[in-house]
Amino acid sequence: QPVHLQEYQPPAYQVSHTELTFDLDPAATRVSARLDMTRHPEAASDAPLFLHGEYLTLHSLALDGTVLDEGDYRLVEGGLEIARVPERFVLESVVEIAPCENTALEGLYQSSGMYCTQCEAEGFRRITYYPDRPDVMATFKVTVIGDKAKSPVLLANGNPVERGELDGGRHFVTWEDPHPKPSYLFALVAGELYKVEDGFTTQSGRDVTLQIWVEEENLDKTAHAMASLKRAMRWDEETYGREYDLDLFMIVAVNDFNMGAMENKGLNIFNSAAVLTHPHTATDQAFQRVESIVAHEYFHNWSGNRVTCRDWFQLSLKEGFTVFRDQCFSADVNSAPVKRIEDVAFFRTAQFAEDAGPTAHPVRPDHYIEITNFYTLTIYEKGAEVVRMLCNLIGAEAFRRGSDLYFERFDGQAVTIEDFVACMAEVSGADLTQFMRWYAQAGTPEIDAYGEYDYVHGEYRLTLRQRTPATPGQPFKKPLHIPVRLGLVGTKSGQDLRLTLAGESLGTDGVIHLREEEQTFVFTEVAEAPVPSLLRDFSAPVKLHFPYSREELAFLLTHDSDGFNRWDAGQRLAMLALDDLIAAHRNGVEKVMDSRVVEAFRLLLTTPMEDKAVLAEMLTLPSEAYIAEQQPLVDVDAIHAAREFVRQSLALALRDEFLALYEDNQSQEAYAPTPEQIGQRSVKNVALAYLMAIDDDQGLAYCQAQFDANHNMTDVRQALTLLVHSEHNHLAAPALKAFGEKWAHDPLVMDQWFTIQVTRPQSDALERVEHLMQHPAFSLKNPNKVRALIGAFAQNRINFHRLDGKGYALLADVVIELNRLNPDVAARMLTPLTRWQRFDDARQALMRQALERIKAEPLSANVYEVIEKALA
Ligand code: ARG
Ligand code: ZN
């Protein structure tokens, strides 16, 4: 049954203090709870008490010390109800749960023998009876009792206040968290864990102990996460004036985890893939991902924990804001233009696809069946784009004052998106009424733009027209307030011209505000014919269409002062060429490479560029997934063929340049994940990929040598991928075997080994998936393995979309199995099938067939909700 935003009611009863005792046992953990509760001043005196609870075996229940009989309470769907309670009371309960049987990985579960928890969003109700909603905030005191030998380490939120020995080889630790928090931020970890410890002194002088807890063999993989944490702590002080507020901050790495990580107060729990790194086991990309996730979870301490969400419709309040914060952090400590390019490239591929599909929803949804399905790119990434627009609209300085006000005014409270935006409006005086539509309307707005230069009057007239397509439940959209950052680049001077609009000067890089359906902006005193550079730095999450000629794009590629738009001009130029080639492929016409693209690439390769990571991005063609997003109907084979044709044509035409680029960027330096080294490796590995796209002996020799040199995982993985994805099977097979044997003991490296094999373009990819599902290192119970093998295969477009439907059938089989084991992951794995409308009739039919087959099963709420939308 869907829940609706409009039906929000404050809780009838609050919990002021929560005491929990866990007596740990894999199959029978006893959880005793003692809740200090009070009726909400506005609730009726006869309001019943409702406590959430699922998969709990109730042993006893007592109210103010009196044991309740079965007639005194009712076990109802999803919880327990007590008809009458006093205004203030103490409720005590004892329940039993079975962590070892918990394959959903929500609530208390076991991972590699270790106990751990995941409570966001609604996992706490699998631990004890409780008002499990974010607007109920309590202080917590938690005692964890465990076996001394099996669980020498017992952790929970806050500070340890007492520990001791018990009979029968058991011991306990008691933890206190003084900051009131909702149940979704509760955490417990117990097991044989080892720690790395460091310290941090906050700007006001508080000494904080920092600990990262891992399995013993991973002790040497924590340094980067620790360094990232310290950078993040300093950055939040300097950028937002936010300081840490406990004496202890802990991170724990667990192998089985549904998502990336979780910001539990004082005890962040991480998917091991999001925290462990070592130059030999993790790529540059993994290093950067760890840095950003460590920062993200740390930043939640303020944007999420100290100020939290009133209800789950407000999820983007904490997630959109926190993603924006972690993006800015990563931009500050690395190459800012590359960070933006990477984020936008991903956003325009994956979020645009979500926003155009059957599960499209606004940044603030107004109903859901299963909230877990709403941890999406729209809530996180589009939410971050909306916060970024807000920041740009009112300016960084006002934004900081607004966030100061927000944290001060709402500290310790559970609030709404309006509360956040109201602070920004208050400090800036801006009218953000129309802007609020960004939170309510789903779908990607499209802007059709065209411009005219009037030589006689020296005017440039730019007309922008916006429309947002219909999305499920939202047939009609209102115009949005869209900030369009732009420049006019003079075709003679090659410089940004001064922008004068209605007599007002905007400098050479300005923002215009599109608020109506259609608006014409007349720039005066424009001395020469310009090429407009629009939506600089991706100033709004929209699709912008402008009828650029290839010459104009080639011009922007070299002259635009905005690094992001230079890159985007290259992508647009490549897209035009790809469009022609896709059409040629469909029509069975011979493919001809556009020489303008070749010349643009030649120029890139021969012009020295400061930031090598930017060059690597500029030399990278739009992905097949991105190209697909641009087509009215996705032709999987034509897209693949066209993109391969461009890659090979570029490699053939510019072979010597790529070779030189590769050779010039070799390095013998010791590995460090610095922006300089990462840029150098990126550009070198892009060059190698081009060389391997053609049958080049020198390229192949370099590739094999790079694999053998075994310098770091970034280089090794790229070399192995290129070997396995090429036709050089006599080299690929032994390399793959050696790698698999060498790393059999390391699950995170084995994940990469799986992914490399099932993403190869050759037609045996599906058979390889089937084969690898039998591999001892694979397990459907481990989400990382599922993503590395099945998830990665579903991104292998030509093979997943095989015309015999076997790719779809395989995914359906996996989803059916996962639906029983882990509904959260099952629903996520289903995503590629929900996009069936985008494909040809034959594939549509096969994809629907797979969906119908899943629908016939007894379904979890997660999978049910997605299937219903997909087939609606
Ligand atoms: N709040 C966490 C984060 O942003 C993610 C929560 C995971 N939730 C879940 N239902 N698996 O990092
Ligand atoms: Zn988050």
Residues 6+ apart with CB under 8 A from 511: 392, 483, 484, 485, 486, 539
CA distance 98 to 155: 19
pLDDT tens digits, residue range 343-386? 999 999 999 999 999 999 999 999 999 999 999 999 999 999 99
496: which DSSP letter? B
Q: How far is the CA of 830 from the centre of ligand 2 (A)?
A: 22
* Ligand with an atom nearest the CA of residue 271: 1
Q: How far is the CA of 815 from the centre of ligand 2 (A)?
A: 26
Are the C-beta atoms of 108 and 190 separated by less than 8 Å? no
For residue 303, count other CB atoms closer than 10 A to its CB.
28
Question: Is a pLDDT exceeding 90 seen at residue 217?
Answer: yes
Q: How far is CA 54 from the centre of its chain?
A: 28
Q: Is 753 helix (H, G, I), strand (E, B) or coil?
A: helix
CA-based nearest residue to 713, from 671, 676, 758 = 671
Write phi, then psi, for 478 (nearest 5 degrees). Answer: -95, 160
pTM of the model: 0.99
Q: How far is the CA of 643 from the centre of ligand 2 (A)?
A: 35
CA distance 447 to 453: 20
Q: How far is the CA of 602 from the centre of ligand 1 (A)?
A: 44
User: 121: cis peptide before it, omega within 30°?
Assistant: yes
Q: Which residues face 270 on adjacent strands?
A: 253, 261
What type of residue is 340? R
Q: Which residues face 13 on adjacent strands?
A: 39
Tell me the mean pLDDT in the region 693-708.
96
pLDDT tens digits, residue range 67-81? 999 999 999 999 999
Write phi, then psi, for 121 (nearest 5 degrees). Answer: -90, -40
* Mutate-to-test residue for ligand 1 from 375, 376, 787, highest number of ligand atoms within 8 A of CB: 375
ipTM above 0.90, yes or no: yes
Nearest residue (CA) to ligand 1, atom 10:
372
Apex 685 CA angle, 748 and 575, nearest 5: 105
For residue 259, the ligand 1 atom closest to its alpha carbon is 11
* Burial class (CB within 10 angstroms; exposed 0-12, middle 13-18, buried 19+) of 847: buried
* Paired sense of beta strands 49-52 and 510-514, if any: unpaired
**Catalytic annotation, pick one of 297, 629, 657, 865:** 297
Nearest residue (CA) to ligand 1, atom 5:
262
What type of residue is 267? L
Residue written as token pair 């097949």:
624
CA-based nearest residue to 391, from 539, 243, 242 = 539
For residue 380, the ligand 1 atom closest to its alpha carbon is 4
Q: What is the helix (H) or strand (E) element at residue 352, kind and residue range?
A: helix 352-355
Token couple for 249: 């901050």
Q: How far is the CA of 130 from the centre of ligand 1 (A)?
A: 20
Residue written as token pair 């579960």:
109
CA distance 591 to 321: 46
* Ligand with an atom nearest the CA of residue 184: 1
pLDDT tens digits, residue range 615-673? 999 999 999 999 999 999 999 999 999 999 999 999 999 999 999 999 999 999 999 99
Tell me the mean pLDDT in the region 459-487.
98
Q: What percentage of the chain reaches a pLDDT higher than 70?
A: 100
Query: What are the pocket residues of ligand 1 if the criterion is a CB atom closer than 6 Å to any ligand atom?
Result: 118, 120-121, 258-263, 296-297, 319, 372, 375, 824
What type of residue is 365? P
CA distance 781 to 817: 10
Q: What is the helix (H) or strand (E) element at residue 784, kind and residue range?
A: helix 783-786
Active site residue 297: yes
* Paired sense of beta strands 107-111 and 114-118, if any: antiparallel
* Ligand with an atom nearest the CA of residue 373: 1
pLDDT tens digits, residue range 299-347? 999 999 999 999 999 999 999 999 999 999 999 999 999 999 999 999 9
pLDDT tens digits, residue range 550-586? 999 999 999 999 999 999 999 999 999 999 999 999 9
For residue 123, the ligand 1 atom closest to its alpha carbon is 10
pLDDT tens digits, residue range 39-92? 999 999 999 999 999 999 999 999 999 999 999 999 999 999 999 999 999 999
